[in-house]
Structure 1
Amino acid sequence: MITRRKALTHTATGLVLAGLCNFLPAGLIGAANAQEAGAIEDVTLGDADAPVKIVEYASYTCPHCASFHNDTFEAFKRDYIDTGKVHFTYREVYFDRYGLWASMIARCAGPDRYFGVSDLLYSTQSDWARQGDPADVAASLKRIGAQAGLSSEEADACLQDAEKAQALVNWYEENVAADNIRSTPSFLVNGALHAGNMSLEQIASLVEEAS
């Protein structure tokens, strides 16, 4: 359940954004804050004209979300997204600052590498997301970013971008409120809400019903 959502509400001057800066070189803060956050856009896969639209709400620190992406998503993408049956949208949910940081690294890698970074984040979730020290988490996320071509300086600037972090939190809160999201993973299938991890058979059944 989204039990910690309110902890992110006051991030303009609060703990989450402070947490972005408390372990990185101080010299990077000014340059990062000078970046424009820009509009937050959905990340999608597949044909926008596909008959079935699926929106997944998930958190990079959610074990059930990792299970779906590690065990089911590849086959789902092959059978339903790549074949033009489903247009897929992925929307991040932020239970905690680590999930927010992971999202920022994925987005800073760029749209062409976003889902590749997502795969790495989910496949290694038990390694980076369970670390107790924020500096260790940041270092792990920077290593994942490096696999997608982000330099250490680019990853530092990404994690220091307080305006982008606040924009993402605002975007997340608006989305979950509008779609009545209470847990992750949750799936909107042509607007109908279904909560919980899904097998390929379960999500395939929903696609067939909505087609």
Structure 2
Amino acid sequence: MTGLIRRIAIAALACAAMSAPAIAEDNWSEWAPENELGWVEGSADAPVTVIEYFSPTCSHCKEFAEEVLPVIEEAYISTGKVRFVMREWVRNSVDMTILTQARCLPDEDGLAYLKDIFARQDEIFVAAQIGTLPGTLISASTPYGVADREAFDACYKNMDTRFDMIEVEKSAEHYDIHASPTFIVDGVSHAATLTMMTPEGFSAFLDEELAKATPPTN
């Protein structure tokens, strides 16, 4: 398999379902904001909460993070209209390794680290192919304090982190996530469409949800 084909294969695996179907018996319920295990931007009092299920190696998630989310952060999150939550949807070992590092960091640093990971996604694909992934991820996490192999391994093996990831996986099963990115608003799952993957399209989507959440006054 050529390097290019392998890179495409990795990206495809990240964005398509590979897990078993969601369990039939579902006793999971949404967490209160103070118990949230995802990475959060915005006020707990915002009228609309959007949950994004993402994979660090998903090219569409990178596109959303770099082209759409900055606009949403400025126009909706910073203005108190939307609370935005990122939860992982792990579908390969590269995702797993990246997320053990992100979850080792304080929440704000973890979010910044994940954005750095999206910026270096092509480099990470190559590192995964040639066996240098730990070194590449240590380079990415060094600004946040995970600066050597000992710290990297400690994060990777941290059982509290793994238990948190299991709980997030249960939430993804509850919402029957099959692709990334997928967005949850008020318990309803919205698979990303081509329109939603643009700043204008996602803004229109949020405006519709805000109109539902905020009835007009007389």
2:154 to 145, 154, 157: 157
The aligned amino acid for 1:141 is L
Distance 1:83 1:127 in 2: 34
RMSD: 2.1
Deviation at 1:52, TM superposition (A): 0.8
Count of matched residue pairs: 178
1:171-207 Cα offsets, whole Å, 9 max, x none, are 2431111112111000112332211262111111111
Q: C-alpha separation between the residues in 2 aligned to 1:165 and 1:133?
A: 25
> Matches of 1:136 and 1:164 in 2, distance apart?
26
Asked if residue 99 in structure 1 is aligned to residue 104 in structure 2, the reply is: no
Task: Find the counterpart in structure 2 of residue 90 from structure 1.
Answer: 86
TM-score (norm 2): 0.74
**Counterpart residue number, 1:73:** 69
2:17 is equivalent to residue 3 of structure 1: yes
Shift of 1:44: 0.9
- Of 98, 119, 124, the match for 1:123: 119
Work out whether 1:182 is the aligned partner of 2:185: no
Partners in 2 of 1:55 and 1:171 — Cα distance?
Answer: 15
Identity %: 25
- Report the counterpart of residue 52 of structure 2 in structure 1: 56
Unaligned 5+ segments in structure 2 are 1-14, 21-34, 211-218
Aligned counterpart, 1:146: 142
Q: Which residue of 2 aligns with 1:204?
A: 203
Amino acid at match of 1:205: A
Counterpart contact for 2:37–2:164, Cα < 8 Å: no
- Secondary structure (helix, strand or coil) at the match of 2:167 reads helix
Match of 1:45 among 41, 44, 49: 41
Structure 1 position 169, deviation (Å)? 4.5
The alpha-carbon distance between structure 1 residues 164 and 139, as it changes in their structure 2 partners (threshold 3 A), is farther
Matched with 1:13 is: none
Quote how far apart the aligned CAs of 1:143 are: 0.9
For 1:25-40, list aligned pairs within 5 A: none
- Change in Cα spacing, 1:3 to 1:193, as seen in structure 2 (3 Å) is closer
Q: In structure 2, what is the Cα distance between the partners aligned to 1:42 and 1:187?
A: 13
- What is the letter of the counterpart of residue 19 of structure 2? R
Instruction: Report which structure shows greater RCO (CA 8 Å, sep ≥6).
Output: 1
**Secondary structure at the residue paired with 2:108?**
coil
CA–CA distance in structure 2, aligned partners of residues 40 and 135 of structure 1: 34
Give the Cα separation in 2 of the matches to 1:179 and 1:80: 24
TM-score by length of 1: 0.77
